[in-house]
Structure 1
Amino acid sequence: MIYLGAAILNVEGEYYFNDRWSGNLEYQYAWWHKRPAFFYRLAAGGPEVRYWFSEKDFFHGHFVGAYVGVGLYEFMFKRNLGLQGEFYIASGISYGYTMPIGRRMHMEFSLGVGYMMTPYRQYYYNAGCYVYQQTKKYTYFGPTKAKVSLIWPLFSWRKRLPR
């Protein structure tokens, strides 16, 4: 839902491969531009491995995870400053909670804390040209992932209890 507010297409799939473990793969894409003063480009994605605390049902309750994200980006909101990153990488640990909000719909809340690193170029627009200024490197430690997601399961995921 956060991605929707930022006009970013987000597709995600998750698969249970054990009673309490799941693997998740997500992809985000936005390629908006209105030349010459506005660019908003992003292509990113990455895997996450999750451990679920619930023993009753798949994809319900609390979980912790480890994730890695990579991507490309370019932002220019005014003519006087643009940022273009060829590559970024972020990794960390996440905590989340998933709850049912209907018979076939779930809601997930998730927050990840970790490390992010990216080299990027600064530029500005002048007389019909994009003028390079400098290359910088940005590193960050703190929240790197926040999600509020509506989930529609494709299959029924009730665990079968042993008899």
Structure 2
Amino acid sequence: MRCLKKWIWTVFLSLFLLPAGAQEQADTTYTFRFKTGKDMFYVPWNGNDGELARLEACVEKYKTEILGGRMPLHVDGYCCSQPTETENLAMARIRSNRVKSELIVRRELTEECFVTRNHAAEGDFVTVRLTVPVKETAVTDTDAKARCKAEAERLEAEKRAEQERLAEEQRKAEEARLAAEKAEAEKAAQQNTFADTPSETKITTDYHLSLRANLLRWATLTPDLGLEWRICPSWGIAVNGSWTSWTWSDKDRRYALWKVAPEVRYYMGEKKAWYLGAMFKAGQFNYKLSETGKQGDLMGGGITAGYRLRLNKALNLDFNLGLGYLNADYEKYEVIDGVRVCRGNETKDWWGPINAGVTLVWKIK
């Protein structure tokens, strides 16, 4: 009877404790994370302290079996941040040793308590796995696989995010480079346009000496030359001179003159193309285009205005017109048997246009 009662109580207690044992879920895999490129084990970082506390509790629970070699701790180190497989394995080994050293110091374990493997694989972490009896790990093994899968998915998501960030930074850098090249090309094209356009595009800032030739004078077979000195961008001093002497019909007809015309100019506007000036003119003439000739002196002056059209870096066209006063003091004469015979003196005053020109300007200095 006593044996029967003992057997019944044994069955009863077994049935009572079986569900409780089935519900006990001791974690058997613990993950410790490391910073990318680093081998130092930071216990307070990224949840490592919580994992270490849980692992210590488990080690304490099975310490006798661990020290006896019946339940070794499986340590796996992972690293993929180094350039070569050898360097990845070396860093994974250091990380594994850091975790083992922490357990040896804290829980008085030995190197023989561990089975260590290192991997040049994706990730920066170390796992510690404790193999416990099947009845206690039926649930925890599934949890460990789920945790490993979740960790792998997290690492994959972080890798994709990092790749997307790098691609976006590269795209922005390429766009910035193309924009800078485009701006530089537009600036160079604009500068080339300024240099080559036949119109005045920029202010003359250099001081130079120019040679001048009035093309209208040359068209009337009257050679005309002059000089202009730009003493600054806004002011210039010019002087033109003309001379000619033509005879025909056995010297019975004559066209001869000389004159000089100094001028002071003030250039205006942003491009310094328009100008106003003051001119003085003096010379002598001898015209005999009919039976009566005129020979005398010419003097006067007035204001001038004009525009300079830029042809290239060295050449300009100067369009100008002068208004003012001229005085001509001359004598009339006839030629009889090759002798000039005076027919009287006259003086004439003139108010109106006193000068016109289309002048080619060549910068020589």
Fold-level similarity (TM above 0.5): yes
Q: Secondary structure at the match of 1:4?
A: helix
The answer on 1:134 being equivalent to 2:348 is: no
Distance 1:152 1:19 in 2: 16
Alignment check: 8 A CA contact 1:36 1:125 kept: no
Alignment check: 8 A CA contact 1:20 1:51 kept: yes
Alignment check: 8 A CA contact 1:90 1:117 kept: yes
Deviations 1:23-73 (A, max 9, x none): 0111111122234322111111021000000444xxx51100000010011
Q: Name 2:226's counterpart in structure 1.
A: 12
The answer on 1:113 being equivalent to 2:323 is: yes
Distance 1:145 1:46 in 2: 10
Q: Name 1:53's counterpart in structure 2.
A: 268
Shift of 1:127: 2.7
Letter in 2 for 1:47: P
Q: Name 2:277's counterpart in structure 1.
A: 65
Alignment check: 8 A CA contact 1:111 1:145 kept: yes
Percentage of identical aligned residues: 25
Letter in 1 for 2:314: R
Q: Secondary structure at the match of 2:279?
A: strand
Letter in 2 for 1:83: K
Alignment check: 8 A CA contact 1:20 1:54 kept: no
The answer on 1:100 being equivalent to 2:296 is: no
Distance 1:15 1:89 in 2: 24
Q: Name 1:148's counterpart in structure 2.
A: 358
Letter in 2 for 1:53: M
Distance 2:320 2:238 in 1: 13
Larger RCO, structures 1/2 (Cα 8 Å, 6+ apart): 1
Distance 1:39 1:14 in 2: 32
Question: Normalized against structure 2, the TM-score is what?
Answer: 0.40
Alignment check: 8 A CA contact 1:113 1:144 kept: yes
Structure 1 runs, 4 residues or longer, greater than 4 Å off? none
Consecutive unaligned residues in structure 1, runs of 5 or more: 156-163
Q: Secondary structure at the match of 1:8?
A: coil
Distance 1:68 1:103 in 2: 30
Consecutive unaligned residues in structure 2, runs of 5 or more: 1-214
Distance 2:252 2:311 in 1: 41
Q: Secondary structure at the match of 1:102?
A: coil
Q: Please tell me whether Structure 1 or Structure 2 has the larger radius of gyration of its CA atoms.
A: 2
Q: Name 2:201's counterpart in structure 1.
A: none
Distance 2:247 2:270 in 1: 47
Letter in 1 for 2:356: A
Q: Secondary structure at the match of 2:312?
A: coil
Shift of 1:104: 2.6
Distance 2:361 2:232 in 1: 20
Letter in 1 for 2:218: L
Question: Normalized against structure 1, the TM-score is what?
Answer: 0.86
For these two proteins, the number of residue pairs brought into alignment is 150
Shift of 1:103: 4.0
Distance 1:144 1:114 in 2: 6
Q: Name 2:198's counterpart in structure 1.
A: none
Deviations 1:117-158 (A, max 9, x none): 021011112233221101000101000000111111113xxx
Q: Name 1:160's counterpart in structure 2.
A: none
Higher helix share: 2
The answer on 1:83 being equivalent to 2:300 is: no
Higher strand share: 1
The answer on 1:31 being equivalent to 2:241 is: no
Q: Name 2:332's counterpart in structure 1.
A: 122
